[in-house]
Chain A
Amino acid sequence: MLSLVLRRVLAVVPALLGLALAAAVVAALAGPGWTQALGAALAALPATLALVLPALALGTGLGALLGVMGGAGAVLGWVGPAMPGFLLAAVFAATLAKAPVLLGLAALALPAAAQATTLAGRARAGAEDTVLLAARGRGMDGSALLWRLALPLGLSAAMGGLRSAVAGTVTAAVAVENLSGTGFSGAGRLFVEAARAGDAGMAVAALAGLCGLAVLLGALGRALHGWIDPRARMA
Chain B
Amino acid sequence: MSRPDDRAPLRVEGLSLLTSRDILLDRLSFAIEAGEVLALSGGAGAGKTLLLRALAGLAPKGVTVLGDIHIRGRRLLVTQDGALDPFRTLGAQFAELLSRQSGLDERTALRRAAEALERFQVPAAARRLALHPHELGEAMRWRAALALAMAAEPALLLADAPAAALDPTQRVRLLSDLAAWTREAGTALLLAGRPQADPIRSGLARSNLADRRLVLAQGRLEVPPAEPTPAPSPAEPAPSGPPVLSVRDLRVAFPLGRNWRGEERWLTVVDGLSIELAEGETLALLGETGSGKSVLARAILRLVPPVGGQVTWLGTDLAAAPPETMRRARRDLQILFPDPLAAFDPLMTIGAQLAETLESLHPSRSPANSAARLADALEEVGLPAAVLDLHPGALLPAEAARAGLARALLPEPRLLVCDEPAATLDGSERADFLALLQAIRRRRRLALLYATQDAAEGLRIGRRALVLLLGRIVESADSAILTAGARHPYSRALIAAAGLAPPALHGDPPSPLRPPTGCALRLRCPLAHDGCAQVPPTLDPVAPGHRVACHVAQDDAQNDAQVGGKAP
Contact = CB atoms under 8 A, between A and B. Distances in A.
Interface stretch (A56-64, A66-74, A185-193, A227-235): A227-235
Given A130-B79, A133-B58, A230-B134, A138 B86 contact: no
Contacts of A140: 100
Given A134-B79, A137-B78, A229 B58 contact: no
A131 B56 contact: no
Contact of A138 (B53, B81, B149): B149
Given A229-B86, A230-B132, A138 B58 contact: no
B83 interface: yes
Contacts of A133: 53, 58, 77, 79, 83
B152 A152 contact: no
Given A137-B77, A138-B97, A138-B152, A230 B87 contact: yes
A140 B96 CA distance: 10
Interface in A112-166: 129-131, 133-140, 148-149, 152-153
A139 B78 contact: no
B134 A231 contact: yes
Nearest to B93: A138
A150 to B, nearest CB: 11
Contacts of A148: 85
A152 B97 CA distance: 18
A137 B158 CA distance: 9
Nearest to B57: A136
B283 interface: no
Interface string A217-229: 0000000000011
B108 interface: no
Interface residues of A, number: 19
B395 to A, nearest CB: 26
B64 interface: no
A137 B58 contact: yes
A131 B85 contact: yes
A140 B58 CA distance: 12
A138 B152 CA distance: 9
B87 A138 contact: no
B148 interface: yes
Given A137-B56, A137-B76, A231-B134, A131 B152 contact: no
B86 A231 contact: yes
B414 to A, nearest CB: 46
Contact of B82 (A129, A134, A153, A230): A134
Nearest to B78: A137
Contact of A131 (B76, B83, B149): B83
A179 B83 CA distance: 50
B83 A130 contact: yes
Contacts of A149: 85, 87
A228 B132 CA distance: 13
Contacts of A152: 87
B163 interface: no
Contacts of B81: 130, 134
B84 interface: yes
Contacts of A137: 56, 58, 76-79, 158
Nearest to B159: A137
A134 B84 contact: yes
From A131, A137, A149, A228, residue with most partner B Cβ within 10 Å = A137
Most chain B CB within 10 A, of A148, A230, A231, is at A230
A134 B58 contact: no
Contacts of A230: 86-87, 132, 134
Contacts of A153: 86
A79 B100 CA distance: 41
Interface in B145-185: 145, 148-149, 152, 158
A138 B100 CA distance: 10
B101 interface: yes
Nearest to A234: B134
Contacts of B148: 138
A134 B158 CA distance: 11
A137 B146 CA distance: 12
A133 B86 CA distance: 13
A130 B160 CA distance: 12
A135 B85 contact: yes
Nearest to B89: A230
Q: Which of B74, B85, B97 has the most CB of A within 10 A?
A: B85
Contacts of B56: 136-137
Nearest to B158: A137
27 contacts: A130-B83, A131-B84, A133-B53, A133-B58, A134-B78, A134-B79, A134-B81, A134-B82, A134-B83, A135-B85, A136-B77, A137-B77, A137-B79, A138-B97, A138-B152, A139-B76, A139-B97, A139-B101, A148-B85, A149-B85, A228-B87, A229-B86, A229-B87, A230-B86, A230-B132, A231-B86, A231-B132
Q: Which 6 A-B pairs have the closest CB atoms?
A: A137-B77, A134-B83, A230-B132, A134-B79, A131-B83, A130-B83
Given A134-B82, A137-B79, A138-B149, 12 more contacts: A129-B79, A131-B86, A133-B79, A134-B81, A134-B84, A136-B77, A137-B77, A137-B78, A138-B97, A140-B100, A148-B85, A229-B87
Interface of B: 53, 56, 58, 74, 76-79, 81-87, 97, 100-101, 132, 134, 145, 148-149, 152, 158
Interface of A: 129-131, 133-140, 148-149, 152-153, 228-231
